[in-house]
Structure 1
């Protein structure tokens, strides 16, 4: 699968792999970036293993991981990914997103998600995009809701976190037929 670079005036999303992930080493060490996730990224070894898993999923055609470059800041900001790609049913998840503290709240994430949703619905012609967010992560839940995704339900105690806590995941979805309205209302001016 050939992955294009997704890009606009603010952000550039390129394929994340073992040749470029080291740009994220300093960011990955920032506290609480993945506190609601079962992932560990704060050591060089953990970050490499995290990226290797993403690369493996890419080669199995079930994920497309991206490294995020913020053009406004002229710096690498973090990563994000399409995952659990179901080509037959035309459904995928967007997630595994973490960006450095200095990039949060700057509008970067909205630009990232616009490019990803546009690619999923308009290029790949998928029928649905899903987001899974820890029930306690109010900031991420509000961000997904702001994108126009609909809360479809909560999976209770479905993911074991590194500290032994069993989180519940809010399941959000966006349908292909909703995308044109969301694109013109939520992402007006992109």
Structure 2
């Protein structure tokens, strides 16, 4: 993915390339709900936002990540971020992760449209055969949202990671494979227009 940057446009959101200049807007977005206090997510506190963005941009330069801010079109506000990550070009697999939204925009059309834009790009532009999602075992809201997209649970990676506070995390892995994409796309479009 490297220096490749794109903007993905929907009706409700615009996914724009992440830059260091977005730090203040992302801090404001994360403050809506004080998302960094949720122990089962990876939303950075304000003092770590620049490092969070810098790491995302480094992974992008290394060719296996592509990071976006999520702009809500009606309000023009940055309401979160998301990215393609862990791109395995040889095996045509990619993950959509590091996704979070301001509390005010959760359970709105924002997530469905972001995922529609990202999945469409992954399957139709990157020629992915599988798109993966991962979340913390204890993040019930995220697990339900991923399931509502049409993703299937593949596995639970027990003792997968050690969080910064020393807690050992179990990670739930979901995926959508290419043959499932047409039905998933139809469902997402239906949900956005109903």
Match runs of 1:141-160 below 5 Å: 141-160=143-162
Offset at residue 146 of structure 1 (A): 0.4
1:42 — aligned with what? 45
Check the 8 A contact 2:154/2:173 in 1, yes or no: yes
1:57 — aligned with what? 59
Check the 8 A contact 1:24/1:77 in 2, yes or no: yes
Change (3 A) 1:47 1:141: same
**For this pair of structures, how many residues does the alignment match?**
188
Greater mean alpha carbon deviation, residues 63-72 or residues 180-189: 180-189
Give deviations 1:133-184, integer Å, cap 9, x for gaps: 1111111001000000000110001111222211101110110111012111
SS at match of 1:187: helix
Aligned with residue 67 of structure 1, among 66, 69, 86: 69
Aligned with residue 86 of structure 2, among 73, 84, 87: 84
Check the 8 A contact 1:121/1:127 in 2, yes or no: yes
Check the 8 A contact 1:152/1:171 in 2, yes or no: yes
**So what's the TM-score if we normalise by structure 1?**
0.92
CA distance in 2, matches of 1:80, 1:167: 21
Computed over aligned residues only, the root mean square deviation of the Cα atoms, in angstroms, reads: 1.6
2:35 — aligned with what? 32
CA distance in 2, matches of 1:59, 1:123: 19
**So what's the TM-score if we normalise by structure 2?**
0.91
